[in-house]
Chain A
Amino acid sequence: MNSTQAIIHHESTLSPGSILTLNQMGLLAFLVSEASLFSTLLVAYVTFLGRDTIGPTPREALSLPLAMVSSLFLLSSSGTIALAERQLHRGHRRGFQFWWLLTFLLGAFFLAATAYEWNELIHKHQLTISRNLFGTTYYTVIGMHALHVTCGLIAMLIVLSLSFRDQVKSEPGGAVELVSWYWHFVDGIWLVVFSVVYLWGRSA
């Protein structure tokens, strides 16, 4: 079987009573596994909270205002990506590209804020991954999340370049919808990461 046939069979009927397309189901199953991955990393973070004998501790090192600003970038990008989807649904290609690009930029700002934060932590607070248990778990959790943001940004760039060639459609289970579901998930995970790493971490 070649890949043309593989594509053809996707247009065959869905099973009885199915409310999601195959792509939607696949992405949701993948996101469940991602939730499982992040839960494990957060368990490690919480396990080691307050067990350090040398500093810095989360309260000493983590800057809440900075984290809140970067959170604002990321959370608002969930709104702009929804607006992009709406524009595409209405058939406004330019509008879609505008909001999509804005989403990309907000995600990139978030990454830049993370880079700034890490730079501060390493040089001002001497917090590296090998410094103490907090450094070990902090960089692992935040690094894994930043990796997911980066993957999302790459996916957005691919969709954007396809859009300039007019190859992006608004359809259930299409690339735009799947990237946006993934992006909402990455944002949602950030809310949990922020609450655990920053709020819980600083109060422990």
Chain B
Amino acid sequence: MAIAAQQRELAATAGWTAVLHEWTTTVDHKKIGIMYVLMSLVFLVIAGIEALLMRWQLFYPRHDFLPPDTFNQLFTMHGTTMVFFVGMPILIGVGNYMVPLMIGARDMAFPRMNALGFWATFFGGLLVYSSYATGGAPAIGWFAYAPLTEKTFARTAATDLWALGLLVSGVGTLTGGINFIVTILGMRCPGMTLRKIPFFPWTMLWTSVQIVLVIPPLSAALIMVLLDRNLGAHFFDTQNGGSAYLWQHLFWFFGHPEVYILILPAFGMISEVIPVFSRKVLFGYEFMAAATAAIAFISMGVWSHHMFTVGMSKTLDLYFAAASLLVSIPTGIKFFNWLATMYGGKIRFASPMLFAFGFLSMFLIGGLTGIMLAIAPFDFQLTDSYFVVGHFHWVLIGGTLFGLFAGLHYWYPKVTGRMLSERLATWQFWLLFVGFILTFGPMHIAGMLGMPRRIYTYDANRGWDIWNQITTLGAFLQTPSYAIFVINIVWSYFKGPIAGDDPWNAWTLEWSATSPPPSYNFEHIPVVRSRRPLWDLKHPDDPDWKYE
């Protein structure tokens, strides 16, 4: 404890340059985690503003708020930013902070590589955004279909900067993935066998396995784009025999597992929150664990369901439709286990549980529209329509973002030592919940009425205007919820009630450290005997390890 007091004293007396130096040179997993999360929130605001600009353009038919080329740049940057510089880094950030604490370790396995990972992601993001300096961002869509990325069609250096930025941030993501795998496999505290690991680190492990397997193919494909553009290679140059089809395969071989990279950690957070706020153990731990691994494996064999309309053979269509439907089985197992965990529990709707409720109700719907799109003939009708846009936002916001907010509200007291305002959190939740449904619900209808994605405007007589207007209003209704979240985390940091070590009466190891934890996490490395070490500690008369 003496060291912690010393550090606090040092922080109080040091000037801002010393603080800046401390944060830029830190290799502490907790500080790096915080930097990941804050960076992602900044990019979330940027990408959110891009979305609002697009929504205002689509509010009226034949609206002339944005020129078409600007619109194309905005949807490219919105997608790229949300996937690579919001979704992945914020999950990796929370994982960075929580995983070592939850498995009873003092840091990640490779602290310096951890810092490298953060800075590579950060500068990768800057590199992508520096494309604006070339006179405009790339206008290629986040999945950058060939031959749009060829020099013939994208003449400025914007596309090169985009590819370079993703290559650099890919290195950051990859080092993060390797670090998680080694930390989780190699640094668990005594007694914590793989069968006793908390659920969030378990999902981070499988997300990392996917990162290691699918980020390199994306890097290879980006290298090919750069070689095409700068050395005159012909990978995707269709005029000289190159193949646009190859790019689609390579991109989606990364792109589909990517959505599971984005959802598995959210599953993990939900699996931490629901038991604690239902006062029950996680139902069917082994099945949940196996389902996570199954999702990770199956999702690497389903990528071409993004390509049902490019003219694959019927055999491939059938295989990819069947494989995609298969994912719903382990996902369903998870879903029923969450419900079974809540069943008969003493449920308390504190803010983390509120967001978990949002996750359960919304992710279910996103999952069901996913099953619809996995059926090839259905996809033939609705591919590249607003139905697809509605579907994947429903999964990424209804699933990943709600799950993430559950986790952020759950762990904020641990990170700052202060409680968030429940009143602000409740406002944030309901504005987000209602705004989200209003934004993305009507997209499904507009899609079924034939509205293609990525158009910058539409004619008044198509019957799409009312659905676009509701969508835009929903987007503006969501906006204050993010502002409330930012106000809440800033205000509570200074004024929130003191949290104490274990405000939720939870069971995993991170709650045994002080809030915030000292830089070395644990004075003595803990020894565990069950999946709920703090339950054992609080109830020595009836410990879990007797039953597991």
- Residues in chain A within 8 A of chain B (CB atoms): 1-3, 5-6, 9, 12-18, 20-22, 25-26, 29-30, 32-34, 36-37, 39-41, 43-44, 47-48, 51-53, 129-130, 132-133, 135-137, 139-140, 144
Contacts and interface: CB of A to CB of B under 8 A. Distances in A.
B216 A132 contact: no
16 contacts: A1-B519, A3-B111, A3-B112, A5-B520, A15-B188, A26-B178, A32-B212, A36-B214, A37-B216, A39-B217, A48-B241, A129-B232, A130-B233, A130-B234, A136-B233, A140-B227
B220 interface: yes
B224 A14 contact: no
B107, B186, B223, B519: which has the most chain A beta carbons within 10 Å?
B186
A5, A36, A130: which has the most chain B beta carbons within 10 Å?
A36
Chain B interface residue number, banded: 35 or more
Given A5-B520, A44-B224, A133 B188 contact: no
Interface of B: 26-28, 103, 105-107, 109-113, 174, 177-179, 181-182, 185-194, 212-217, 219-221, 223-224, 227, 231-235, 240-243, 246, 250, 253, 519-520, 525
A52 B193 CA distance: 55
Contact of A36 (B193, B216, B231, B519): B216
Nearest to B250: A40
Contact of B223 (A32, A47, A129, A140): A140
A15 B527 CA distance: 11
B529 to A, nearest CB: 12
A51 B148 CA distance: 22
Contacts of B188: 15-16
A29 B250 CA distance: 21
Given A16-B190, A37-B219, A130-B232, A3 B174 contact: no
B216 A9 contact: no
- Which are the 9 A-B pairs with shortest beta-carbon distances? A130-B232, A15-B188, A37-B216, A40-B220, A136-B233, A1-B28, A36-B216, A40-B217, A6-B111
A19 to B, nearest CB: 10
A41 B525 contact: no
Nearest to B7: A1
B110 A26 contact: yes
A6 B107 contact: yes
Nearest to A15: B188
B241 A37 contact: no
Given A6-B111, A40-B216, A15 B185 contact: yes
A6 B220 contact: no
Contacts of A16: 188, 190-193
B250 A30 contact: no
A129 B233 contact: yes
Contact of A37 (B106, B220, B242, B519): B220
Given A16-B190, A22-B187, A33-B178, 20 more contacts: A1-B26, A1-B28, A1-B107, A6-B27, A9-B107, A12-B187, A15-B192, A25-B186, A29-B178, A33-B177, A36-B216, A40-B217, A40-B221, A44-B220, A47-B243, A48-B243, A129-B232, A129-B233, A132-B241, A140-B235
A169 to B, nearest CB: 20
A25 B525 contact: no
A14 B214 CA distance: 28
B241 A53 contact: yes
B341 to A, nearest CB: 27
A49 B275 CA distance: 55
A132 B234 contact: yes
Contacts of B181: 25, 29
Contacts of A25: 109, 181-182, 185-186
Contacts of B233: 129-130, 135-136, 139-140
A130 B544 CA distance: 66
A29 B180 CA distance: 10
A101 B216 CA distance: 31
Contacts of B106: 9, 12
Contact of A14 (B178, B187, B212): B187
A17 B193 contact: yes
A52 to B, nearest CB: 7
Contacts of B193: 16-17
